[in-house]
Chain A
Amino acid sequence: MAESIRDRVAIVGMGCTNFGELWDKSPSDLVVEAAYEAFEDAGIQPNDVQACWLGTVADTTSGMAGLGLSAPLRLQYKPVTRVENMCATGSDALRNASYAVAARVCDIALVVGVEKMKDTGQAGLAVTGGLPSANVAPNATAPGMFAMMATKYFARYGLSPNEGKTMLAKIVVKNHHNGSLNPKAHFQREITLEQVVNAPIIAWPLGLFDCCGVSDGAAAAIVVPADQARKFRTDPVFIKALQICVGPADGTVRSDYDYTHVEETYRAGLAAFAEAGIKNPRHEISMAEVHDCFSITEATIMEDLQFSPRGKVREDVDAEVFALRGEIPINPDGGLKCFGHPVGASGLRMMYEMYKQLQGKAGARQIKNPRLGLTHNMGGQPPACTVSCIIAGLKA
């Protein structure tokens, strides 16, 4: 019988760079900054690390192989593995490191996620290349693929374009408010509902502010066995669940896919709740960082993670359930929308916020007495996704 990861490993140090258009920073610069903040936070030296995992997606900008981590840090002949799992890369790097620590094949693991998005001179994600293909894929961008969820959500639940866009805009306004309280966020400015609704359309019905930032940045974590954690600090954060779910990518093939939910999110959530022993997610999860690459994504994640009933997220958005002082704060650090989205770093950035919140170190964004924090990190596009769901808490 396979054993659960619950309470077997802990995070004892984390680092995260400012996210943004970091024209003066190289990928290696970002790696050094995030890793050294994590070393300092954990009170360890680089050479104490026994094994490392690097999460990065765009090999053209952030380096291939494990060398993208060992070279910037001049790590002295350590095992380093590069992980790539689309936008869930950072979370999967953490998952792999945690498994190695739980197996007790290493006692101190370093995880770094990094992405340099802004060196390409292009709009949108700089994820290109790959095997030359027949080039007959639909000419859709990431906003376009997610926009089709919004089109269908509005149609299925009878929302007029204005009603639908207003629901999504409220999510964006909330995330901008949270971002305005975060000195490391890419966007630190409040915006109004009118600005969001009236913004230029990127991919109908999604406008400019419905789309997350494209940012440079890096984040890092130090993972140790749970029973060793208090040797490093008094307030380690324990992993309660660590799930990843990769779908069969059949929603463009099977006509029973509804385009109003992401099955991978639903199933990753179910597995994580089971692993952490959670019966009622809405009441037992204190807060969550979710993958709000687009406003519609956050809306449907609320339903897939069972925070809102199917088709009812609009009521919870209107009641400000997900606001910083609401019943279950979502994206207290501003989310992908405002903290930004350096692809390989995002999963670890989410955990950085949960870690700081659980330790009571989130400053103006601090949530009162959080018990369990959840990160939801999603790669791909509906309906072909890879989703991680991680739950962390203070008490083992």
Chain B
Amino acid sequence: MTGIISYGAYIPIHRMNRAEFYRAWGGFAIPGETAVASYDEDTITMAMEASSDCLKGMDRKSIDAVFFATTTSPYKERLGASILAAALDLPPAIRTMDVTGTLRAGTTAIAAALDTINAGSAKRALVAIADCRLGAPSGDAEQLLGSGAAAVLLGKDNVIAEIEGSSHITDEFSGVWRTDSDVFVRSWEDRMVLDKGYSALLPEAISALMQKSGLGPEALDKIVFDAPTNVMRHAAVARKLKFDAAKLQDPMVLSLGNTGAAMATMMLAAALEEAKAGQRLLFASYGNGADAFVLRTTPALEKLGGRRGIKKHLESKRMLANYETYLRWRGIIPLESARRPEQSATSLSSLWRNRREILALYGARCLNCGTIQYVNPSANFTTGVTPIRICAACQSKDRFEPYRFADKKATVFTFTQDNLAASTDPPVTITVVDFDGGGRGVFDMTDRDPAKLEVGMRVEMTFRKLYSDRGIHNYYWKTRPVRCEEN
């Protein structure tokens, strides 16, 4: 039966205590923390992280569909899924699709992926979901929204959770919305939004599914559905459906905030982390209607192997110093620019020519002397000589095989904290690293504590956004201290 083969999740390392919003604006202090995407993160990079977590130990060559779901794509016109596919080093002859426009974009993408597989159009589909919605400064939404991502690999073989059935409702009513030019979420008056939206439609879709499947509340071992901004309505829906509160999956609003389209699937990842074989899960999501699924876990779940998933990512955190840092990182207020030479123009031609080196972090291994080497493809960097034609070690010409560095850990050989370089998060931490298995590179470091850098520290590679020039976001890799104590 078609189902989930693997899952993964991602939560940015930075959290902000909601007391910081209260400090800035006064008003009503909502308890807990919110997950804040770093200045160099967006939904593509977070989806990439969740996908990498999901694909740990998986054969990538068999993936033939990538769906990317978000309401906050960095592009209105440019396919996010194809950027993900390139960064994940997947072959070009696959199906790709972005699903957007609704908070249930994630479950809608999952439903579409299941149909694609069931129709025989794809064998294994990766669905990556991320969101990074913003509330306008001083409002409740600003405090409540968080950033995060989840990914599931779907298919028919080695499934860890079979999808037994689903039910779908569409509804024109939308209590929250953004126009094509809105930066911040807009919303109608709370009570109507909830009474006619979430609190009405989610139970309707779930009831329909339960009826269709012939299941009563007692048949469910875990109950996973996302929460609206008013988290009390989450429990209220469960009560209405006579669900056992103990089986209800925590929507994590207090620990990371409302993560929009990614929320339900992040909760599902958290549920699967704790689930045993042979359990039945309800999985549902609301947004201009609702999607609901019934899942049954298989013995393969217990053989999948650990993921960073939700639990480890939640524990791995650094508190953001203050609200002003949040404003700066999200680009909400204009700031004085550094008195430094302007960033030179980004060349789309060069990005395209070097797409494997840049997006999938490919270098080469010399077939003559075996030396593994990576070259930064920027022509304005002193070593920007790509493609690699001449071996740096033995100078033999054109005798290489491709070598991918993206999933290699590395050790810091030397570093600096550069206060002069222009940055949204000074100082700029530059690292020279030696990769496990060979090869050296110079990379910016992110998600680090500048006071804790040292020669010899262990790092891993993370996919980030470097700059934006005329709307060209250039994604590349940075080092970061190995997260989740996984050395």
Contacts and interface: CB of A to CB of B under 8 A. Distances in A.
Contact of A203 (B375, B414, B419): B419
Interface string A127-146: 11111111111111101110
B462 to A, nearest CB: 14
Contacts of A202: 418-420
A143 B434 CA distance: 22
B200 to A, nearest CB: 49
A306 interface: no
Interface residues of B, number: 60
Given A250-B393, A252-B376, A255-B413, 4 more contacts: A129-B344, A133-B347, A137-B376, A252-B432
A290 to B, nearest CB: 21
B420 A136 contact: no
22 contacts: A120-B341, A123-B340, A124-B340, A124-B420, A130-B379, A131-B380, A132-B350, A133-B344, A136-B376, A136-B466, A139-B418, A139-B423, A139-B430, A140-B421, A143-B420, A144-B418, A148-B414, A148-B432, A250-B393, A252-B383, A255-B413, A255-B434
Interface residues of A: mostly helix, strand, loop or mixed? loop
Nearest to B363: A253
A131 B455 CA distance: 34
A129 to B, nearest CB: 6
B438 A148 contact: no
Contacts of B443: 138
A147 interface: yes
Interface in A74-126: 120-124, 126
Nearest to A140: B430
Most chain B CB neighbours (cut-off 10 Å) among A128, A133, A257, A380? A133
A254 interface: yes
Interface string B438-466: 11111110000000000110000000001
B228 interface: no
Interface in B399-453: 413-423, 427-428, 430, 432, 434, 438-444
B346 interface: yes
Interface stretch (A27-35, A41-49, A149-157, A228-236): A149-157
Contact of A122 (B341, B371, B413, B444): B341
A139 B421 contact: yes
B344 A132 contact: yes
A136 B341 contact: no
B126 to A, nearest CB: 25
A148 B423 CA distance: 18
Contacts of A152: 413-414, 455
A135 B344 contact: yes
Contact of B439 (A122, A155, A255): A255
B378 A135 contact: yes
Nearest to B417: A204
Which among B339, B346, B378 has the greatest number of chain A C-beta atoms within 10 A?
B378
Interface in B314-373: 338-347, 350-351, 354, 358, 371, 373
Given A139-B428, A140-B430, A152-B414, A122 B376 contact: no
A138 B414 contact: no
A132 B347 contact: yes
A381 interface: yes
A384 B417 contact: no
A135 B351 CA distance: 8
A301 to B, nearest CB: 18
Contact of A130 (B380, B423, B441): B380
A122 B340 contact: yes
User: 3 closest Cβ contacts across the A-B interface?
Assistant: A384-B382, A137-B381, A144-B418
A329 to B, nearest CB: 30
A254 B393 contact: yes
A250 B383 contact: yes
A380 B421 contact: no
B376 A248 contact: no
A148 B416 contact: yes
Nearest to A207: B419
A201 interface: yes
Contacts of B420: 123-124, 141, 143-144, 202-203
Contacts of B441: 252
B461 to A, nearest CB: 13
A296 to B, nearest CB: 11
Interface of B: 338-347, 350-351, 354, 358, 371, 373-385, 392-393, 413-423, 427-428, 430, 432, 434, 438-444, 455-456, 466-467, 469, 474, 476
**Residue of B354, B419, B438 with highest tally of chain A CB at under 10 A:** B419
A151 B414 contact: yes
Nearest to A143: B420
A201 B419 CA distance: 7
B380 A250 contact: no
A245 interface: no
A201 B438 CA distance: 33
A340 B423 CA distance: 27
Contacts of B338: 123
B476 A136 contact: yes
A133 B378 contact: yes
Contacts of A64: none
Contacts of B469: 135
B377 A134 contact: yes
Interface in A153-209: 155, 200-206
A372 to B, nearest CB: 32
A252 B439 CA distance: 9
A259 B439 contact: no
Interface string A237-257: 000000000001110111101
Nearest to A149: B414
A253 B373 CA distance: 6
Contacts of B374: 253
A250 B441 CA distance: 10
Interface centre among A126, A202, A250, A259 (most CB of B within 10 A): A250
Nearest to B349: A132
B329 to A, nearest CB: 16
B142 to A, nearest CB: 29
A139 B444 contact: yes
A133 B350 contact: yes
Nearest to A247: B382
B416 A140 contact: yes
Contacts of B382: 249, 252, 380-381, 384
Nearest to A151: B414
B341 A124 contact: yes
A204 B347 CA distance: 31
Contacts of A121: 339
Nearest to B420: A141
Contact of B384 (A137, A140, A255): A137
A253 B383 contact: yes
A299 to B, nearest CB: 15
Contact of A259 (B350, B392, B413): B413
A21 to B, nearest CB: 14
Nearest to A121: B339
B474 A136 contact: yes
B186 to A, nearest CB: 35
Contacts of A203: 416-421, 427
Contact of B346 (A134, A205, A380): A134
A136 B423 CA distance: 14
Given A120-B341, A123-B340, A134 B432 contact: no
A264 to B, nearest CB: 12
Contacts of A255: 413, 434, 438-440
Contacts of A126: 341
A384 B416 CA distance: 17
For A120, A135, A137, A152, the residue with the greatest tally of chain B CB atoms inside 10 Å of its CB is: A135
